[in-house]
Amino acid sequence: MGDEITIDTLMNRMPKAYYPDKAKATMEKHGGKVVIQYDLSGNEAGKWIITMTPEACTVEKGEAPSSLMTLTADSQDYKDMITGKANPMQLFMGGKLRLKGDLNLALKFMEFFKLAG
């Protein structure tokens, strides 16, 4: 396993990788705050709440009472997507990445973050 990145590491990096300027218009469209729920299964299963505002992004473990979008995936598939080893559209079309809620947000979401690499 060695230096393989973990879900915890990826989640902890999200606030530092957030580009508020790129997300500002979307945040304002949704009343200044967007909550996204991650439900990951597999070896690193867990539930995560990603909250974005025009100023910052926070990430915490747990289940949001309400969210604009929910992302459901196996933890390894999610890591592969974030690290560029898997194509998000192929995961989605193959049923390995499921999205519920605001799909327009899903299309823009990755633009809000500077990914490793």
Condensed to tens digits (0 to 9), the pLDDT of residues 3-27 reads 589 999 999 999 999 999 999 999 9
Q: Which residues pair with 73 in a beta bridge?
A: 40, 97
Q: Pull the structure tokens for residue 100.
A: 């519920």
Helix (H) or strand (E) holding 7: helix 7-17
24-69 tens-digit pLDDT: 999 999 999 999 999 999 999 999 999 999 999 999 999 999 999 9
Determine the distance from the C-alpha atom of residue 45 to the mean position of all C-alpha atoms in its chain, rounded to a whole number: 14
Q: What is the mean pLDDT of residues 59-86?
A: 95
pTM: 0.90
pLDDT for the residue 115:
66
Instruction: Delineate the domains of the chain, giving CATH numbers in brackets.
Output: 7-109 (3.30.1050.10)
Contact 107, 71 (CB under 8 A): no
State the angle between helix axes of 75-82 and 7-17 in degrees (0 to 180), rounded to the nearest 10. Answer: 40
pLDDT band at 116 (very low <50, low <70, confident <90, very high): low
CA distance 67 to 37: 6
CA distance 115 to 93: 22
Q: Mind giving me the DSSP string for 74-110?
A: EHHHHHHHHTTSS-HHHHHHTTSEEEEE-HHHHHHHG
